[in-house]
A and B are shown apart, each in its own frame.
Chain A
């Protein structure tokens, strides 16, 4: 780790109020520990004060993905507004939708992927956003290709969070083969690196990238093509380490050597463990945009808008990007990012790798065929 990074990290850990072991041993334990406790306790009082001051209420519930926010940013929001964030993460868009469909939305802000928006709207779960409450969203600053799907009938139902790709990560200390394709990913899972691969618990990417093995469209709902993909997946299943969308812990501690992976997880893993590399299959795969949406039934509407707007603030957004390593769609945010980040090949892959990628298709979300292929794969 380079010294500058280390310094900043140490600095951050001081800010968080944590004590390193050495320091702890150096001073007397109890006094310091009490001080830390006292530092953290005023949270309670702060909550009450903020409550009286604003009409936002004191809570907002966020449905999002693993490793997708800078905890410092969320903390800052709470400090600024007194609104505490209930942070829920999901493994797939399907799971998020099912939770909302079964028994009313428990969430105020949801991070959903491009291909699901039209279904949410059809099901009457989303309403057009009140853009006057989201001054940090300026449509012109986003490329149409990323935000098109949020606009239905001229109205905007969701605002973009980040875009990214779905590839896979490889621990090059353990896997010496030069990995470039999805074919290799599946073949080596089944043979050489049995028991070391993680596949998402998510129909879109798990099935989609099995389809790419055969060169079919990532979004295929053709029964014949899906049957082939299913066969491959079921063949690979005994050789998998896990089926999970939260693969960072297993990649970090060395249990897994390879995993289907989103851009930001690739950045984060590579940042901390340079031997972990992010690969986009030559055959193609997924290109996506994630959006903030506020469901119709949100109970804390004002707080939901406040949180969304806060996270869209270029400075905040830039801090998010620096932490999670997913590229932003917002030009103003990009201006605040260091050059090396904008040149980062994980975040901004080469054109020839981007070209074959496809955006997820709405049909995959509601296709009973794909749902069953995924379910049979998991139950096999």
Chain B
């Protein structure tokens, strides 16, 4: 059993090991080791496109995680009070949203927004006051990525948080109401602490999904570049160890975050 686990871990980590190894490559190519160098870390960090792509990805993933957790929590709480047709409609919408592959969200958002913009932009041009100068042209970008991502992840968040809501101890809530706590206070002091692990898990998962998404952004990013889009472009033009350096740094950050948070949790216990 242990041996098997070891094999699986090797399978998981050999590619990552190769990525890290090549990030210290002195040569230009990501497939031929030519000595040791850490210059690619410097190159990556001083490349404004990498930094901008990283910033875009962080904004997109952060906003997506935040919005989807808020909406998911609200929906999960609201849904426990409804039955019948309303419940059925919501359940099937969530179900459909989870089932549709991400790529379709990308396409639907692209097609719908392109159609809407074809309509809105000429209109905007007509009604735009001359004093304000030239009318702005709305186009695909940050907002279209965030809305497609949020849509993709909200249903998931709802399901995760709802599992937590259903497992919640209702007697505590009733006690709180009996003690004349305001609904807000009941939520804040009784409900939220109980479902918080679910919210956190959903937010984390959705952050990861959004941060790593390529295909949806590929369709709707317009001129914006997220980190995965940047990486894809780099792979196509012949990858340099710069990309490996980025991956290594991402790995270091996520490992540090993981282990410090675990350390903190253990201390609290």
Contacts and interface: CB of A to CB of B under 8 A. Distances in A.
B48 A249 contact: no
B49 A105 contact: no
Interface in A130-171: none
A47 B35 CA distance: 29
Nearest to B25: A18
Interface in A1-53: 16-21, 23-24, 29, 33, 36-37, 39-41, 43-44, 47
Contact of A84 (B35, B41, B49): B49
A66 B220 contact: no
Interface in A150-204: none
Interface residues of B, number: 36
Interface stretch (A86-94, A275-283, A342-350, A360-368): A86-94
Contact of B222 (A33, A37, A104): A104
B133 interface: no
Interface in B198-255: 219-225, 233, 236-238
Given A18-B26, A20-B26, A21-B36, A88 B237 contact: yes
B46 A44 contact: yes
A40 B31 contact: no
A58 interface: yes
B223 A47 contact: no
Interface in B20-52: 26-28, 31, 34-39, 41-43, 45-49
B140 A33 contact: no
B34 A20 contact: yes
A71 B43 CA distance: 14
A102 B117 CA distance: 11
A106 interface: yes
The secondary-structure label for the interface of chain B is loop
Interface residues of A, number: 42
Contacts of A320: none
B220 to A, nearest CB: 7
B37 A19 contact: yes
A246 interface: yes
Given A44-B46, A84-B47, A17 B39 contact: yes
A41 B44 CA distance: 10
Given A40-B46, A41-B46, A47-B48, A24 B237 contact: no
B49 A36 contact: no
A41 B39 CA distance: 9
Contacts of B237: 66, 87-89
B42 A102 contact: no
Interface of A: 16-21, 23-24, 29, 33, 36-37, 39-41, 43-44, 47, 58-59, 61, 66-67, 71, 84, 86-91, 102-107, 246, 248-249, 253, 299
Interface of B: 26-28, 31, 34-39, 41-43, 45-49, 110, 113-114, 137, 139-140, 144, 219-225, 233, 236-238
